[in-house]
Amino acid sequence: MDAAILNVFPSTTRAFVKEAIAAGNVLVGDRRVPKGLKLRGGETVVIRELLEAADNLVAPVAGPLRVAFEDAALLAFDKPAGMPVQPLTCRETGTLMNAVVHRYPECRALGDSPLMAGALHRIDADTSGLVLVARTAEAFDALRAQFSAQTVKKTYLALVEGAVAVGGTLENDLVHDPTLPFCRMIDKSRVRASVNGRSQISDLRSGGVKALHAVTQFRPIGRTMVENEERTLLEVTIYTGVTHQIRAQLALAGLHIVNDRLYGAFAVENQQGHCLHALAASFTHPVSGDPVEIRTAYPDWAKMI
């Protein structure tokens, strides 16, 4: 069924066909059908609704925006923790980019991914802080080139469990954990075989899955005590942009970000999200060529230190 629909409507996508079938918008003989239904020929297929690839744009929906920087080429926002940067489908709302395209409609068609709407990078939903967004195609291309060349310096704040006396540099080749159905990054050299993941892990060790090299620098800048448990505020600098890079690398080094339970931290009662904040970014302005540093305010959990 799904292959037949794609053949008749090449302007749609496999994901949209799957969505339409799952929603009951594809009928044969007035009955809902599974995507794997085999057609014999001669059936009448009724499609109530089917999105096309051109519909896959961020919906403009008003939402809170904390603007950290704005000019004719570039925008920067201080995203709150708990808000995703982008929607996963064009039907999703409540993300930063929904609010951005509502206020700045020129961003909607920018970039190389329709649901990013000009955003130049992502941070995790539970990570707060700086997100850069281009307002023109020229600015997007120029800044994306800087991100690709790893010349954009990104500074974060991370509150970690325990006392950290000295800073350091962490280097890892990170891969997605093949034994989990959700995203968690692990070091390729530390992968251990398991019954369910044995063949996938063999692929990792033989080079079948590309590892992403990540470099993270950190230094302690403050300490605090919470109910007899010491915590250290770290300033973290990265130039690479691997998924979960800071969270994974700090955890691999035994430095667990407070309340980051995915990477082994203790759960903190009555706290939503983990204590990681994108504080600043330094780069070359895409139009003027001048050096630029954009900073956001410290989050509440860092102000108390």
Residue carrying the six token digits 């059908």: 33
> How many Å separate Cα 30 from the centre of its chain?
40
What secondary structure letter does DSSP report for 256? Answer: P
Question: Is 30 in contact with 23 (CB distance < 8 Å)?
Answer: no
Q: Which two tokens stand for residue 26?
A: 């594809």
Catalytic residue from among 78, 124, 177, 260: 124
Q: Phi first, then psi: what are they for 283, rounded to 5°?
A: -165, 180
Residue 157 · residue 178 · CB < 8 Å: no
In the annotation, is 124 catalytic?
yes
Other CB atoms within a 10 A radius of the CB of residue 81 amount to 19
> Distance between alpha carbon 18 and the CA centroid of its chain, in Å?
24
- Whether residue 301 contacts residue 275, with contact meaning beta carbons closer than 8 Å, is answered with yes
- Quickly tell me which residue has 């996508």 as its tokens: 13
Question: Quick count: other Cβ atoms within 10 Å of Cβ 107?
Answer: 24
Number of other residues whose CB lies within 10 A of the CB of residue 41: 4
Strands (DSSP E) contained in 96-167 are 128-134, 153-161
State the alpha helices, DSSP H only, in 173-268.
198-205, 245-252
Enzyme catalytic residues: 124
